[in-house]
Structure 1
Amino acid sequence: MKTYVDHINYQVTDLDRISALMRQLGYVEIRRTEHHGGAVEMKNPAQPELVLEFTLIRDGEKPGFNHICFGLEGEQDVASLKASGFPLTGDLHFSSGSGRYITNFKDPDGNKWQITC
């Protein structure tokens, strides 16, 4: 199974402000979506395979790190993980807001991680 880091998600209070800040570091905005109340995805042309995703905080949430998402080659890889007892917290499902198939898992310390294919 081949895995890679697909994106890193941070929750913020203002998408335009974080986008402007990241542009100063050389990142470019690649898309905005409506999921999680609003999101912006950005890439650095020097490292185009990695996406930084910023989502708006919602009630009860705090700004800052939310999760890292690992990309897998396909649904079969996710099914193999599930069959092996990997601690997925739900089934692979399509997120219409982000346009990705995703599922989550928690590490032994209770931190959220995500998988997409």
Structure 2
Amino acid sequence: MIRGVDHIELIVRDFDEYIEFLKTLGMKVLTHTSHHGESAELQAPGENQPIFEIHQAIGEEVIGVNHIAFRVDDVKAADKVLAKTKIDSKPPNYVEATGRTTINLRDPDGWRMQLVDAKREDPA
């Protein structure tokens, strides 16, 4: 089912400071949008590196790792597999801002994870 790590979402105290920090470490900014208040996707050099999705904390959100997302070839097929288990998951959700369909779930310890379409659609 899982094809690899897609992205790791971080909620940060100071968006601009964090982006500069990651750029200083050598990451490249791929996108910068207003998704979730303010959002950017960065990636380290090299092939098949996961994306770090950075969001500004809003309100009472906890700073730190929000979730880890894994690429799957078919979100609907993954949903059918999950439906036959006791895994705490939500139905597939199309995210217009990213052009992707996701499934949010929790691991046995309650940590947030996500399954996401391997291919991105143009959200325009």
Query: TM class, shorter-chain normalised?
Result: 0.7 to 0.9
The two structures have a TM-score, normalised by structure 1, of: 0.87
Q: Which residue of 1 aligns with 2:22?
A: 22
State the AA in 2 paired with 1:105: L
Q: Which residue of 2 aligns with 1:53?
A: 53
Q: Which residue of 1 aligns with 2:107?
A: 107
8 Å Cα contact 1:88-1:103 kept in structure 2: no
DSSP-derived class of the 1:60 partner: coil
Gaps of 5+ in 2: 118-124
Moved over 6 A (4+): none
Bigger strand fraction? 1
- Percent identical: 27
| Aligned equivalents of 1:106, 1:11: Cα separation in 2 | 18
Q: Which residue of 1 aligns with 2:122?
A: none
| Aligned equivalents of 1:21, 1:9: Cα separation in 2 | 16
- Alignment: residue pair count: 117
State the AA in 1 paired with 2:3: T
Gaps of 5+ in 1: none
Cα deviation for residue 61 of structure 1 reads: 1.1
| Aligned equivalents of 2:44, 2:95: Cα separation in 1 | 25
Call closer, same or farther: CA 1:110–1:21 in 2, change over 3 Å: same
State the AA in 1 paired with 2:14: D
Considering only aligned residues, what root-mean-square deviation do their CA atoms show, in Å?
Answer: 1.7
8 Å Cα contact 2:36-2:55 kept in structure 1: yes
